Structure 1
Amino acid sequence: MMNKNELRKEIRNRKRQFTPEQLRELSQPIIDKLRNHPKLQAAKTIMLYHSMPDEVYTHDFVTEMVEAGKEVLLPVVISETEMEIRKYTGLQDMAISSYGILEPVGEVFTDYQSIEFIAVPGMSFDSHRNRLGRGKGYYDRFLAQVPSAYTLGICFDFQKLDTIPADVYDKRVDEVI
Protein backbone atom coordinates (compact mmCIF):
# COMPACT_ATOMS: atom_id res chain seq x y z
CA MET A 1 0.00 0.00 0.00
CA MET A 2 1.18 3.54 -0.78
CA ASN A 3 2.01 5.86 2.09
CA LYS A 4 0.07 9.11 2.61
CA ASN A 5 2.46 11.31 0.61
CA GLU A 6 2.41 8.90 -2.32
CA LEU A 7 -1.39 8.82 -2.18
CA ARG A 8 -1.56 12.64 -2.16
CA LYS A 9 0.67 12.72 -5.24
CA GLU A 10 -1.55 10.12 -6.96
CA ILE A 11 -4.73 12.11 -6.21
CA ARG A 12 -3.12 15.37 -7.40
CA ASN A 13 -2.24 13.59 -10.67
CA ARG A 14 -5.83 12.39 -11.02
CA LYS A 15 -7.13 15.93 -10.45
CA ARG A 16 -4.80 17.32 -13.13
CA GLN A 17 -6.56 15.20 -15.74
CA PHE A 18 -9.55 17.56 -15.50
CA THR A 19 -9.94 21.20 -16.47
CA PRO A 20 -11.37 23.63 -13.87
CA GLU A 21 -14.58 23.66 -15.95
CA GLN A 22 -14.82 19.87 -15.86
CA LEU A 23 -14.27 19.82 -12.08
CA ARG A 24 -16.98 22.42 -11.66
CA GLU A 25 -19.34 20.32 -13.76
CA LEU A 26 -18.47 17.19 -11.76
CA SER A 27 -19.18 19.17 -8.57
CA GLN A 28 -22.86 19.75 -9.35
CA PRO A 29 -24.26 16.27 -8.52
CA ILE A 30 -22.16 16.22 -5.32
CA ILE A 31 -23.53 19.62 -4.27
CA ASP A 32 -27.05 18.39 -5.06
CA LYS A 33 -26.53 15.44 -2.68
CA LEU A 34 -25.14 17.81 -0.05
CA ARG A 35 -28.06 20.25 -0.47
CA ASN A 36 -30.59 17.45 -0.01
CA HIS A 37 -28.85 15.72 2.88
CA PRO A 38 -31.28 15.40 5.82
CA LYS A 39 -28.60 16.21 8.43
CA LEU A 40 -27.73 19.44 6.62
CA GLN A 41 -31.37 20.38 6.15
CA ALA A 42 -32.09 19.87 9.85
CA ALA A 43 -29.02 21.80 11.07
CA LYS A 44 -29.06 25.50 11.96
CA THR A 45 -25.30 26.02 12.41
CA ILE A 46 -23.18 24.47 9.69
CA MET A 47 -19.54 24.56 8.73
CA LEU A 48 -18.73 24.47 5.04
CA TYR A 49 -15.55 25.33 3.15
CA HIS A 50 -14.81 27.80 0.39
CA SER A 51 -13.31 25.50 -2.23
CA MET A 52 -9.86 25.76 -3.72
CA PRO A 53 -9.61 25.29 -7.52
CA ASP A 54 -9.00 21.51 -7.28
CA GLU A 55 -11.83 20.78 -4.81
CA VAL A 56 -15.57 20.19 -5.19
CA TYR A 57 -16.81 23.70 -6.06
CA THR A 58 -18.73 25.17 -3.10
CA HIS A 59 -18.67 28.97 -3.57
CA ASP A 60 -22.27 29.36 -4.78
CA PHE A 61 -23.53 26.76 -2.30
CA VAL A 62 -21.99 28.61 0.67
CA THR A 63 -23.91 31.75 -0.32
CA GLU A 64 -27.06 29.73 -0.97
CA MET A 65 -26.95 28.36 2.60
CA VAL A 66 -26.69 31.89 4.06
CA GLU A 67 -29.68 32.92 1.96
CA ALA A 68 -31.54 29.85 3.26
CA GLY A 69 -31.10 31.17 6.82
CA LYS A 70 -28.33 28.88 8.03
CA GLU A 71 -25.56 30.15 10.28
CA VAL A 72 -22.60 29.40 8.01
CA LEU A 73 -19.06 29.00 9.28
CA LEU A 74 -15.89 28.72 7.23
CA PRO A 75 -12.34 27.71 8.21
CA VAL A 76 -9.43 30.14 8.10
CA VAL A 77 -5.81 28.96 8.16
CA ILE A 78 -3.95 31.10 10.70
CA SER A 79 -0.62 29.26 10.97
CA GLU A 80 1.24 26.17 9.79
CA THR A 81 -0.68 24.10 12.33
CA GLU A 82 -3.89 25.96 13.20
CA MET A 83 -7.13 27.07 11.67
CA GLU A 84 -9.92 29.07 13.22
CA ILE A 85 -13.57 29.27 12.32
CA ARG A 86 -15.27 32.46 11.16
CA LYS A 87 -18.86 33.35 10.53
CA TYR A 88 -19.78 33.96 6.88
CA THR A 89 -22.63 36.27 5.91
CA GLY A 90 -21.73 37.06 2.30
CA LEU A 91 -18.99 37.82 -0.18
CA GLN A 92 -18.22 41.09 1.60
CA ASP A 93 -16.74 38.87 4.36
CA MET A 94 -14.07 37.43 2.05
CA ALA A 95 -10.47 38.54 1.41
CA ILE A 96 -7.33 36.95 -0.07
CA SER A 97 -5.31 35.48 2.79
CA SER A 98 -1.54 35.39 3.21
CA TYR A 99 -1.81 31.84 1.82
CA GLY A 100 -3.30 33.23 -1.40
CA ILE A 101 -6.77 31.77 -0.91
CA LEU A 102 -10.10 33.50 -0.41
CA GLU A 103 -11.03 33.29 3.27
CA PRO A 104 -13.60 34.94 5.52
CA VAL A 105 -12.61 37.97 7.58
CA GLY A 106 -15.81 37.96 9.67
CA GLU A 107 -16.18 37.40 13.37
CA VAL A 108 -14.23 34.50 14.94
CA PHE A 109 -16.59 31.71 16.00
CA THR A 110 -15.78 29.78 19.16
CA ASP A 111 -19.05 28.10 20.18
CA TYR A 112 -17.99 24.76 18.68
CA GLN A 113 -20.68 22.83 20.57
CA SER A 114 -23.39 24.57 18.54
CA ILE A 115 -21.99 23.29 15.21
CA GLU A 116 -24.36 20.57 14.03
CA PHE A 117 -23.04 19.72 10.57
CA ILE A 118 -19.60 19.93 8.93
CA ALA A 119 -18.83 19.41 5.24
CA VAL A 120 -15.25 18.14 5.25
CA PRO A 121 -13.03 18.42 2.17
CA GLY A 122 -10.31 15.85 1.58
CA MET A 123 -7.66 14.73 -0.87
CA SER A 124 -9.24 11.30 -0.57
CA PHE A 125 -11.64 9.20 1.50
CA ASP A 126 -11.80 5.41 1.76
CA SER A 127 -14.54 2.84 2.21
CA HIS A 128 -14.00 2.96 6.00
CA ARG A 129 -14.63 6.77 6.04
CA ASN A 130 -10.96 7.54 6.69
CA ARG A 131 -9.84 10.90 5.32
CA LEU A 132 -6.59 11.86 3.66
CA GLY A 133 -6.04 15.60 3.98
CA ARG A 134 -3.35 17.85 2.56
CA GLY A 135 -0.93 16.82 5.30
CA LYS A 136 -1.05 19.59 7.91
CA GLY A 137 -3.65 18.02 10.22
CA TYR A 138 -5.90 21.10 10.43
CA TYR A 139 -9.17 19.17 10.15
CA ASP A 140 -8.03 16.27 12.35
CA ARG A 141 -7.28 18.68 15.20
CA PHE A 142 -10.46 20.68 14.61
CA LEU A 143 -12.81 17.68 14.34
CA ALA A 144 -11.49 16.37 17.67
CA GLN A 145 -12.99 19.54 19.23
CA VAL A 146 -16.48 19.03 17.77
CA PRO A 147 -17.30 15.35 18.38
CA SER A 148 -21.08 15.93 18.35
CA ALA A 149 -21.23 17.49 14.87
CA TYR A 150 -22.24 15.28 11.94
CA THR A 151 -19.31 15.14 9.50
CA LEU A 152 -19.79 14.59 5.79
CA GLY A 153 -16.74 13.99 3.60
CA ILE A 154 -16.91 15.68 0.21
CA CYS A 155 -14.86 14.60 -2.81
CA PHE A 156 -15.03 13.55 -6.42
CA ASP A 157 -15.52 9.84 -7.15
CA PHE A 158 -12.01 9.59 -8.61
CA GLN A 159 -10.64 10.62 -5.20
CA LYS A 160 -12.22 7.67 -3.39
CA LEU A 161 -9.91 4.78 -2.52
CA ASP A 162 -10.46 1.35 -0.98
CA THR A 163 -8.01 1.98 1.88
CA ILE A 164 -6.07 4.92 3.25
CA PRO A 165 -3.43 4.46 5.95
CA ALA A 166 -4.76 5.96 9.18
CA ASP A 167 -3.24 6.55 12.60
CA VAL A 168 -4.74 7.44 15.98
CA TYR A 169 -4.83 11.18 15.18
CA ASP A 170 -6.80 10.75 11.95
CA LYS A 171 -10.50 11.50 12.38
CA ARG A 172 -13.02 9.48 10.40
CA VAL A 173 -16.06 11.22 8.98
CA ASP A 174 -19.61 9.98 9.56
CA GLU A 175 -20.33 9.63 5.85
CA VAL A 176 -18.76 10.30 2.43
CA ILE A 177 -20.55 11.55 -0.68
Structure 2
Amino acid sequence: MNDAQHTRKAILAARDHLNSEEISANSEAIRQRLLASDEITDAATICSYVSFRSEVHTLPLIESLLARGKRVVVPLTRVSERRLDLVAIDDPANDLAPGYCNIPEPREALLPRHLVDPQDLDLIILPGSVFDLRGGRFGYGGGYYDRLLAQVPGAGRIALAYELQVVDRLPLAEHDELLDRIVTEKRIINGNRHR
Protein backbone atom coordinates (compact mmCIF):
# COMPACT_ATOMS: atom_id res chain seq x y z
CA MET A 1 0.00 0.00 0.00
CA ASN A 2 1.49 3.38 -1.02
CA ASP A 3 1.29 6.59 1.03
CA ALA A 4 -1.74 7.92 -0.84
CA GLN A 5 -3.69 4.70 -0.36
CA HIS A 6 -2.71 4.54 3.32
CA THR A 7 -3.78 8.17 3.90
CA ARG A 8 -7.10 7.61 2.12
CA LYS A 9 -7.79 4.44 4.11
CA ALA A 10 -6.93 6.02 7.48
CA ILE A 11 -9.03 9.15 6.89
CA LEU A 12 -12.02 7.15 5.63
CA ALA A 13 -11.82 4.91 8.71
CA ALA A 14 -11.87 8.01 10.94
CA ARG A 15 -14.81 9.45 8.97
CA ASP A 16 -16.70 6.17 9.28
CA HIS A 17 -16.33 6.38 13.08
CA LEU A 18 -18.38 9.59 13.26
CA ASN A 19 -21.75 8.89 14.87
CA SER A 20 -25.03 9.90 13.26
CA GLU A 21 -25.42 12.98 15.49
CA GLU A 22 -21.93 14.23 14.55
CA ILE A 23 -22.61 13.62 10.86
CA SER A 24 -25.95 15.46 11.01
CA ALA A 25 -24.64 18.43 13.00
CA ASN A 26 -21.48 18.83 10.92
CA SER A 27 -23.40 18.41 7.66
CA GLU A 28 -25.86 21.12 8.70
CA ALA A 29 -23.03 23.52 9.62
CA ILE A 30 -21.40 22.85 6.24
CA ARG A 31 -24.71 23.33 4.40
CA GLN A 32 -25.34 26.69 6.11
CA ARG A 33 -21.80 27.89 5.41
CA LEU A 34 -22.04 26.85 1.74
CA LEU A 35 -25.50 28.37 1.20
CA ALA A 36 -24.18 31.74 2.44
CA SER A 37 -21.38 31.76 -0.17
CA ASP A 38 -21.24 33.92 -3.28
CA GLU A 39 -20.61 30.83 -5.40
CA ILE A 40 -24.09 29.52 -4.58
CA THR A 41 -25.72 32.92 -5.06
CA ASP A 42 -24.07 33.41 -8.46
CA ALA A 43 -24.55 29.89 -9.88
CA ALA A 44 -27.61 28.92 -11.92
CA THR A 45 -26.72 25.29 -12.69
CA ILE A 46 -25.10 23.33 -9.86
CA CYS A 47 -23.87 19.75 -9.94
CA SER A 48 -23.85 18.06 -6.54
CA TYR A 49 -22.91 14.60 -5.47
CA VAL A 50 -25.57 12.66 -3.58
CA SER A 51 -24.17 11.58 -0.22
CA PHE A 52 -23.56 7.98 0.71
CA ARG A 53 -22.72 6.43 4.07
CA SER A 54 -20.60 8.80 6.18
CA GLU A 55 -20.09 11.51 3.53
CA VAL A 56 -21.28 15.04 4.30
CA HIS A 57 -25.05 14.77 3.79
CA THR A 58 -26.21 16.54 0.65
CA LEU A 59 -29.95 15.82 0.36
CA PRO A 60 -30.87 18.82 2.58
CA LEU A 61 -28.49 20.94 0.49
CA ILE A 62 -30.02 19.72 -2.77
CA GLU A 63 -33.51 20.50 -1.46
CA SER A 64 -32.36 24.01 -0.42
CA LEU A 65 -30.86 24.63 -3.85
CA LEU A 66 -34.05 23.51 -5.59
CA ALA A 67 -36.11 25.76 -3.28
CA ARG A 68 -33.90 28.69 -4.35
CA GLY A 69 -34.71 28.01 -8.00
CA LYS A 70 -31.33 26.52 -8.89
CA ARG A 71 -31.04 23.90 -11.61
CA VAL A 72 -29.63 20.92 -9.73
CA VAL A 73 -27.70 18.24 -11.57
CA VAL A 74 -26.47 14.97 -10.05
CA PRO A 75 -24.09 12.37 -11.48
CA LEU A 76 -25.04 9.00 -12.92
CA THR A 77 -22.04 6.66 -12.94
CA ARG A 78 -21.25 4.91 -16.22
CA VAL A 79 -18.79 2.29 -15.02
CA SER A 80 -18.07 0.66 -18.38
CA GLU A 81 -17.21 4.07 -19.92
CA ARG A 82 -15.56 5.33 -16.69
CA ARG A 83 -17.49 8.59 -16.79
CA LEU A 84 -20.29 10.50 -15.10
CA ASP A 85 -23.45 11.45 -16.97
CA LEU A 86 -25.05 14.58 -15.55
CA VAL A 87 -28.80 14.52 -14.98
CA ALA A 88 -31.08 17.36 -13.82
CA ILE A 89 -33.45 16.47 -11.00
CA ASP A 90 -36.53 18.24 -9.63
CA ASP A 91 -37.55 15.98 -6.75
CA PRO A 92 -34.88 13.91 -5.00
CA ALA A 93 -37.45 11.60 -3.39
CA ASN A 94 -38.79 10.53 -6.79
CA ASP A 95 -35.84 11.13 -9.11
CA LEU A 96 -33.16 9.16 -7.22
CA ALA A 97 -32.74 5.41 -6.77
CA PRO A 98 -29.88 3.16 -5.59
CA GLY A 99 -27.27 2.98 -8.34
CA TYR A 100 -23.57 2.16 -8.62
CA CYS A 101 -22.37 0.73 -5.25
CA ASN A 102 -25.86 1.55 -3.89
CA ILE A 103 -25.13 5.29 -4.17
CA PRO A 104 -28.34 7.26 -4.86
CA GLU A 105 -28.33 8.23 -8.55
CA PRO A 106 -30.82 9.60 -11.07
CA ARG A 107 -33.32 7.09 -12.40
CA GLU A 108 -32.66 5.94 -15.97
CA ALA A 109 -36.23 7.04 -16.83
CA LEU A 110 -35.01 10.67 -16.64
CA LEU A 111 -32.79 10.10 -19.68
CA PRO A 112 -32.28 11.48 -22.23
CA ARG A 113 -34.69 14.35 -21.52
CA HIS A 114 -32.88 15.50 -18.34
CA LEU A 115 -29.30 14.91 -19.55
CA VAL A 116 -27.15 18.02 -19.04
CA ASP A 117 -24.06 19.06 -21.01
CA PRO A 118 -21.10 19.49 -18.61
CA GLN A 119 -20.38 22.86 -20.25
CA ASP A 120 -23.65 24.15 -18.74
CA LEU A 121 -22.35 23.77 -15.19
CA ASP A 122 -21.57 26.87 -13.16
CA LEU A 123 -20.51 25.01 -10.02
CA ILE A 124 -19.57 21.45 -9.05
CA ILE A 125 -19.92 20.26 -5.45
CA LEU A 126 -17.65 17.26 -4.93
CA PRO A 127 -17.15 14.48 -2.44
CA GLY A 128 -13.77 13.01 -1.60
CA SER A 129 -11.77 11.09 0.94
CA VAL A 130 -8.96 13.52 1.84
CA PHE A 131 -8.24 17.19 1.07
CA ASP A 132 -5.33 19.54 1.60
CA LEU A 133 -4.83 23.23 2.27
CA ARG A 134 -3.94 23.93 -1.39
CA GLY A 135 -7.29 22.61 -2.60
CA GLY A 136 -5.89 19.18 -3.37
CA ARG A 137 -8.29 16.27 -3.32
CA PHE A 138 -8.15 12.50 -3.16
CA GLY A 139 -11.35 10.90 -4.33
CA TYR A 140 -12.08 7.23 -3.97
CA GLY A 141 -9.65 6.02 -6.63
CA GLY A 142 -11.86 5.84 -9.72
CA GLY A 143 -10.93 9.21 -11.23
CA TYR A 144 -14.53 10.00 -12.22
CA TYR A 145 -14.57 13.53 -10.84
CA ASP A 146 -11.04 14.32 -12.06
CA ARG A 147 -12.19 13.50 -15.60
CA LEU A 148 -15.32 15.63 -15.17
CA LEU A 149 -13.33 18.58 -13.80
CA ALA A 150 -10.89 18.39 -16.72
CA GLN A 151 -13.87 18.75 -19.12
CA VAL A 152 -15.19 21.92 -17.48
CA PRO A 153 -12.29 24.13 -16.37
CA GLY A 154 -14.61 27.16 -16.15
CA ALA A 155 -16.96 25.71 -13.53
CA GLY A 156 -16.39 26.48 -9.87
CA ARG A 157 -15.21 23.58 -7.71
CA ILE A 158 -16.18 23.21 -4.09
CA ALA A 159 -15.70 20.13 -1.92
CA LEU A 160 -17.64 19.37 1.24
CA ALA A 161 -15.61 17.72 3.99
CA TYR A 162 -15.38 17.21 7.70
CA GLU A 163 -12.43 18.94 9.31
CA LEU A 164 -10.89 15.52 10.06
CA GLN A 165 -10.54 14.96 6.29
CA VAL A 166 -8.19 17.93 5.83
CA VAL A 167 -4.40 17.50 5.94
CA ASP A 168 -1.60 19.99 5.27
CA ARG A 169 -0.40 18.55 1.96
CA LEU A 170 -1.29 15.56 -0.21
CA PRO A 171 1.12 13.89 -2.66
CA LEU A 172 -0.89 14.87 -5.72
CA ALA A 173 -0.41 13.30 -9.14
CA GLU A 174 -0.32 15.32 -12.35
CA HIS A 175 -3.93 14.38 -13.22
CA ASP A 176 -5.30 15.44 -9.80
CA GLU A 177 -7.41 18.58 -10.19
CA LEU A 178 -7.27 21.40 -7.62
CA LEU A 179 -10.38 22.90 -6.02
CA ASP A 180 -11.47 26.49 -5.51
CA ARG A 181 -12.75 25.89 -1.98
CA ILE A 182 -13.24 23.23 0.66
CA VAL A 183 -16.11 23.82 3.08
CA THR A 184 -15.88 22.14 6.48
CA GLU A 185 -17.96 22.50 9.64
CA LYS A 186 -15.34 24.97 10.95
CA ARG A 187 -14.10 26.99 7.98
CA ILE A 188 -13.84 27.61 4.26
CA ILE A 189 -10.43 26.77 2.82
CA ASN A 190 -9.46 28.71 -0.29
CA GLY A 191 -7.66 26.49 -2.77
CA ASN A 192 -4.81 27.39 -5.12
CA ARG A 193 -6.47 26.53 -8.42
CA HIS A 194 -6.13 30.04 -9.88
CA ARG A 195 -2.90 31.11 -8.19
TM-score, with normalisation over the residues of structure 1?
A: 0.93
| Map of 2:13 onto structure 1 | 13
Q: In structure 2, how many angstroms separate the alpha carbons of the residues matched to 1:20 and 1:129? A: 27
| Map of 2:51 onto structure 1 | 51
SS for the counterpart of 2:151 is coil
| Map of 1:89 onto structure 2 | 90
| Map of 2:134 onto structure 1 | 128
| Map of 1:175 onto structure 2 | 181
Name the count of aligned residue pairs: 176
How far does the alpha carbon of each residue in 1:28-52 deviate from its partner, in whole angstroms, 9 at most, with x for none? 1111111111011111111111111
Q: Is the 1:8–1:123 Cα contact (8 Å) retained in structure 2?
A: yes
Q: Is the 2:126–2:159 Cα contact (8 Å) retained in structure 1?
A: yes
SS for the counterpart of 2:64 is helix
User: Residue 163 in 1 paired to residue 165 in 2?
Assistant: no
Runs of 4+ in 1 over 6 A off after TM superposition: none
Taking only the aligned residue pairs, the percentage that are identical comes to 28
Which amino acid letter does the alignment assign opposite residue 78 of structure 1? R
Specify every segment of 5 or more residues in structure 1 that has no aligned partner in the other structure, as ranges: none
Which amino acid letter does the alignment assign opposite residue 129 of structure 1? G
Q: Is the 1:20–1:53 Cα contact (8 Å) retained in structure 2?
A: no
TM-score, with normalisation over the residues of structure 2?
A: 0.85
- CA distance 1:98–1:118, shift in 2 (3 Å): closer
| Map of 1:99 onto structure 2 | 101
Q: In structure 1, how many angstroms separate the alpha carbons of the residues matched to 2:84 and 2:176? A: 16
Specify every segment of 5 or more residues in structure 2 that has no aligned partner in the other structure, as ranges: 184-195
